Amino acid sequence: MSDPILKLSGLTKTYNKGKPSEVQVLRGADLEIQPGEVVALVAPSGAGKSTLLHIAGLLDTPDEGHVEIAGQEMSKLSDRKRTQVRRADVGFIYQFHHLLPEFTAIENIVLPQLASGTPRRDAEARARELLAQVGVEPRADHRPAALSGGEQQRVAFCRALANAPRLLLADEPTGNLDPDTSDRVFGALMELVRGTGLSALIATHNLELAARMDRVVRMDHGVVA
């Protein structure tokens, strides 16, 4: 059997340790995602979904425990190598798009590719292709402020997939959209994910959306049930 694409083991995370405001968010969380698997992460607000996703996406570090991506233990890598893995192998989508406001939609998708060494022409061609797949190609040269919320989020999907990652992490990717738009935009995301055979961990409060994934995992008291 091949390695899981993501393996989290024994993750703990406490904020404000030793202070009255101390909060133990993760208490030994384990999770494995197999190649090609799309998993929904469902838990109430404050349960630690974002914390878990940020640790899995190498945007934050756990107090204890291990993050393995495609069989590689991340804490054993140098900072430089870890940054490479984060850029090349992991795509991250935030609840609020976090697009760079001073750049156009297409530039937002081109930039991470340039950072990974893709030539500009190829990066632009890929960005246009991705935008076309989610139906936002006609808006490619607009800045985020001139796009609707659903369009902004679809551009953010394209940005996350720009470097053809192996693992997609999404933190309530349609959480700030109205229900109809959320449904359509989520559909566009699932098409992208299924079309590339990507593995994904997607946090959502929406049980209907969760049911469209391969498996649903829940977090409870700092562990993944």
Ligand X SMILES: Nc1ncnc2c1ncn2[C@@H]1O[C@H](COP(=O)(O)OP(=O)(O)OP(=O)(O)O)[C@@H](O)[C@H]1O
User: What's the per-residue H, E or C state across 2-23?
Assistant: CCCCEEEEEEEEEECCCCCCCE
Which of ligand X, Mg ion, none binds 23 (CB below 5-8 Å, type-dependent)? Answer: ligand X
Supply the minimum distance, in Å, between the C-beta of residue 128 and ligand X.
Answer: 33
Supply the minimum distance, in Å, between the C-beta of residue 41 and ligand X.
Answer: 9
CB closer to Mg ion out of 53 and 110:
53
Largest CA distance in the chain: 54
- Pick the binder of Mg ion from 7, 26, 42, 50 (CB under 5 A): 50
Which of Mg ion, ligand X, none binds 47 (CB below 5-8 Å, type-dependent)? Answer: ligand X
Residue by residue, DSSP assigns 33-102 as: E-TT-EEEEE--TTSSHHHHHHHHTTSS--SEEEEEETTEEGGGS-HHHHHHHHHHHEEEE-SS----TT
Which of Mg ion, ligand X, none binds 45 (CB below 5-8 Å, type-dependent)? Answer: ligand X
Taking CB under 5 A as the binding criterion, the range among 25-33, 41-49, 152-160, 184-192 that sits at the site for Mg ion is 41-49
> Please, which residues bridge with residue 199 across strands?
167
Interface contacts to ligand X, rule CB under 6 A = 15-16, 23, 25, 43, 45-51
Look at the block and give the residue holding tokens 């989610």. 134
d(CA 68, CA 108): 28
CB closer to ligand X out of 123 and 201:
201
Reported as type and span, the H/E element at residue 29 is strand 23-33
CB closer to ligand X out of 53 and 140:
53
Contact between 51 and Mg ion per CB under 5 A? no
Supply the minimum distance, in Å, between the C-beta of residue 164 and ligand X.
Answer: 27
Which spans of this chain sit near Mg ion (rule: CB under 5 A)? 49-50
